[in-house]
A = this chain, B = another copy of it.
Amino acid sequence: MKVRNFDSKKTLDVITYRLEVLSSKRIRQKLAAGEDVKGYWGTAPTGKPHIGYLVPFVKIAECIAAGIDIQILIADTYGFLVNYDATMEVVERRSQYYSLLITSILRSLGVPESKIWIERESTFATTEAFRGNFLRLCAASTQDDIRSVGLEVATTSMLSPLLCPLYQALSEVHTGCDFQLGGMDQRGMFAYADKLLPRVGHRPVSHLLAPMIPGLKTEKMSSSAPEDTKIMFFDSAEAVRAKIAEADVSPTEPTRNALLACLEHIVFPVYALGIMAPGTLPEAALAGGVAKRYESYKDLEEDFFRGLVDVDSLRSLVADTLNHILEPVRQEYATSKEWQAVDRFAYGTPDGH
């Protein structure tokens, strides 16, 4: 057994902090029994990721720093089924692109190379064991079970997206992990897995939801939304700064506020991870003109909603942190002929061109 960095309580806290806990039974049982827990986060290789993905990546980095193994699953079959206009060859290159990007970002977030654990869904989805489980799950699912998963599946006119919930549910069985980390948009997927997997003889895993970063001028940061509403991983340092300078800052609604979401789920955790030089701890000018160092995001948020915080200082904090994380990633891309070639095949429009 691996030496754990913290006791059970602290380990559970590290895993769940800032997340919505849908169920934590399996994590708690294993920790209580003195066993290790393993988690995973899956992503379908579709469009190019935006910096909303930093929320789970930061959480993954935190877990790994605390000695908890987290597997990254590139859901390639899922990606093909949900995005039925791309060929398998394109999805394969997008999987490579995702894999290169995720590795680069995790390194930038201080995750040691040896702890970066990325696998493809297809490595288990091609096995006979998976085939049996897949067919059994098909036979146990009503079409309504599938449609209740979420809007994308409920409203599709194509066949293939109806199979996506089965792939995601079975990833819980075939990764052998104890919890799945997802985004808030995975609620329906998780409910489907909780309801259906036991019917085909599988034990539920724990489910945790990470918040989504709002768009800079919209409710949701989305790949398909206009450029000025999202920050992409290969935006230049100037572009990041300019976009954040223009981001809407709602003084009353935290859920509509990309700046605060970045501070809570990226900036403060990145400081806590110790990957930025000391002295960059969140320091913001109060309205009165006096600088104040915030030890916790909650303190900052409180002052913000009381109108005491200088918003431009916050914009700087966010832009600096994002650029600190993104700079090594940009540099790696710029010097990697392999990555650039993958990019051209996967997306046609290379990054930075």
Contacts and interface: CB of A to CB of B under 8 A. Distances in A.
A236 to B, nearest CB: 36
A30 interface: no
A143 B158 CA distance: 5
Nearest to A83: B139
A348 interface: no
Contacts of A141: 158-160
Contacts of A146: 159
Interface stretch (A126-134, A227-235, A261-269): A126-134
A191 interface: no
Contacts of A140: 84
A13 to B, nearest CB: 39
Nearest to A125: B131
A163 interface: yes
A84 B126 CA distance: 22
A159 B143 contact: yes
B136 A88 contact: yes
A335 interface: no
B142 A159 contact: yes
B144 A160 contact: no
A341 to B, nearest CB: 24
A86 to B, nearest CB: 9
Given A84-B140, A128-B126, A140-B84, A135 B160 contact: yes
Given A88-B132, A126-B128, A80 B139 contact: yes
- A138, A139, A141, most chain B CB atoms within 10 A: A139
Interface in A48-99: 77, 80-81, 84, 88
Interface residues of A, number: 27
A310 B299 CA distance: 100
Contact of A81 (B131, B139, B144, B160): B139
Contacts of A132: 88
B135 A80 contact: yes
A301 to B, nearest CB: 44
Contacts of A84: 138-140
Contacts of A142: 157-159
Contact of A159 (B128, B158, B160, B162): B162
A145 interface: yes
A158 B139 contact: yes
Interface in A104-156: 126, 128, 131-132, 135-136, 138-146, 156
A144 B157 contact: yes
Contacts of A88: 132, 135-136
Given A80-B135, A142-B158, 17 more contacts: A80-B139, A81-B135, A81-B139, A84-B138, A84-B139, A88-B135, A88-B136, A138-B160, A139-B159, A139-B160, A143-B156, A143-B157, A143-B158, A143-B162, A144-B157, A146-B159, A159-B162
Interface of A: 77, 80-81, 84, 88, 126, 128, 131-132, 135-136, 138-146, 156-160, 162-163
